[in-house]
Amino acid sequence: MFAPETREQIKKIHPAGRSGTDTYSWEYTKSGHYTVKSAYWVQVNVLDAKEKDSIVLQPSLDGIYQQVWSIETSPKIRHFLWRCLSNALPVADNMVHRHIAKDKRCSRCGEEAETVNHLLFLCPYARLVWAMANVHIPPAGRWSDSFFSNLYWVLNLKKEYPKEEIEEDLIPWLLWRLWKNRNEFLFRVEYTACYCGEST
């Protein structure tokens, strides 16, 4: 694997610190011994704090629901977005969860579980549609694993980029067409490629 001279150099490297046998140590007690009391302390003060930090980063669901119901668009689009937020779309992952289907893979890419988030944002097909629509992706450089974060992002692009002309009316319809296009693809009913600007 390594050249002979490299092997010799590796053998000359000595780990820093004490030389001796390895031992297990619990870093949350002075003695290094695990106790149920210290584990409880870790759960309450360390793990729960990390969980709270991640929750703070998520947008408020109440705010997103209110925003969805106040969008000036067709009632069917508002209802569709509400079903997305409620995880009430019959995507493959939900169908498996309800014991209706056996395969939860995406019908289009076949790689990931078909969740609402995957279908509308993470699937390679969806990413292509968003790129063709010239919709800014989140600052992290990729779509989030959280559907709520992604929906919040696309519904609030105008606030993030106030100087750009962003067709806010297009976003809900684009989400709707991704869903309709998936159904056409899945059930082979007069399949038409999804393109930006279509609003049927």
Flag whether pLDDT at 9 surpasses 90.
Answer: no
Residue 21 lies in a domain: no
Residue 70 lies in a domain: no
pLDDT band at 27 (very low <50, low <70, confident <90, very high): confident
Residue 71 lies in a domain: no
Residue 169 lies in a domain: yes
pLDDT band at 134 (very low <50, low <70, confident <90, very high): confident
List the helix and strand counts (H, then E) for the chain: 11, 0
Residue 154 lies in a domain: yes
Q: Provide mean pLDDT across the span 109-137.
A: 92
Residue 182 lies in a domain: yes
pLDDT at 85: 93
Residue 147, helix vs strand vs coil:
helix
- pLDDT, one tens digit per residue, over 30-88 is 888 889 998 888 888 877 666 555 544 556 777 888 989 999 999 999 999 999 999 99
Domain membership of residue 180 as a residue range: 80-89+116-187
- pLDDT, one tens digit per residue, over 76-102 is 999 999 999 999 999 999 999 999 999
How far is C-alpha 79 from the geometric centre of its chain's CA atoms? 22
Residue 184, helix vs strand vs coil:
helix
Flag whether pLDDT at 18 surpasses 70.
Answer: no
Please say whether the beta carbons of 81 and 60 come within 8 A.
no
Task: Give the whole-angstrom CA distance, residue 106 versus residue 191.
Answer: 17
Q: Please name the residue that has the structure tokens 């209110």.
A: 66
Residue 64 lies in a domain: no
Which amino acid does the sequence have at 98?
R
Residue 49: both structure tokens together: 């704090």
Cβ neighbours, 10 Å, residue 191: 12
Domain count of the fold of the chain: 1
Task: Give the whole-angstrom CA distance, residue 98 versus residue 183.
Answer: 19
